[in-house]
Chains A and B, each alone.
Chain A
């Protein structure tokens, strides 16, 4: 049984560009959450998708948007990249309030 998979694992982008990160949840999971983890800090909640809708959102600007597909997979889009967007982006999936399982993350570097 595959766990949570994220792609790509590493990415380098230039300031002002746009990026799309992808996440496939663990089998049987219907809820996907995205987190940003800056170096040396704990993960910060970006948003959560359930039934293809954004249900919860953290304190992140509208440049951060997402989508959930009928197969529960999800994308995180970031527009107009800033240097401060450089971080590890983690995707987590869960089912109805049970513990969340995380992917290995996508390390985004903005230059």
Chain B
């Protein structure tokens, strides 16, 4: 079974508009973390935002926010006020376990976001 599911292979958004990228996950570990990464064409994975399984509030980092719905096992990324530089692949990932050397991170298949001027 897929541990991380991203159902949107590609998305378009108008510049300055908000966009939501979907992510659902599956784990039986009570301690886990959810990440979003941005991968431009250059290849480097850029960390955007993190949500821990015990965090009570949704994570926010500048224009990025994570809509964490634990009961539904979803962790959608919301990008507000899209910019042309936001065009890239976006990956949702999950870390199971905690502590040094005991984490395994699983990535989804990614969503390609294109921002239209």
Contacts and interface: CB of A to CB of B under 8 A. Distances in A.
Interface of A: 30-31, 33, 35, 41-45, 48-51, 53, 55-56, 58, 88, 90, 92, 94-97, 99-105, 107
A41 B109 contact: yes
Contact of A51 (B33, B100, B103): B100
Contact of B45 (A41, A50, A90, A95): A90
Given A51-B101, A97-B102, A99-B47, 19 more contacts: A31-B101, A31-B103, A35-B107, A41-B109, A42-B4, A45-B104, A48-B103, A50-B100, A51-B100, A56-B103, A58-B104, A88-B43, A92-B45, A97-B33, A97-B99, A99-B35, A101-B47, A102-B46, A104-B42
B101 A56 contact: yes
24 contacts: A30-B100, A31-B103, A33-B103, A42-B91, A43-B45, A44-B107, A45-B104, A45-B106, A48-B103, A53-B101, A55-B101, A88-B43, A92-B105, A94-B103, A97-B33, A97-B95, A97-B102, A99-B35, A101-B47, A102-B37, A102-B44, A104-B42, A105-B44, A107-B43
Contact of B47 (A33, A55, A100): A100
State the 4 A-B residue pairs at the shortest beta-carbon distance, nearest first: A50-B101, A102-B45, A55-B101, A42-B107
Interface string B77-105: 00000000000000100010111111111
Interface residues of B, number: 27
Interface string B10-44: 00000000000000000000000101010000111
* Chain A interface main SS type: strand
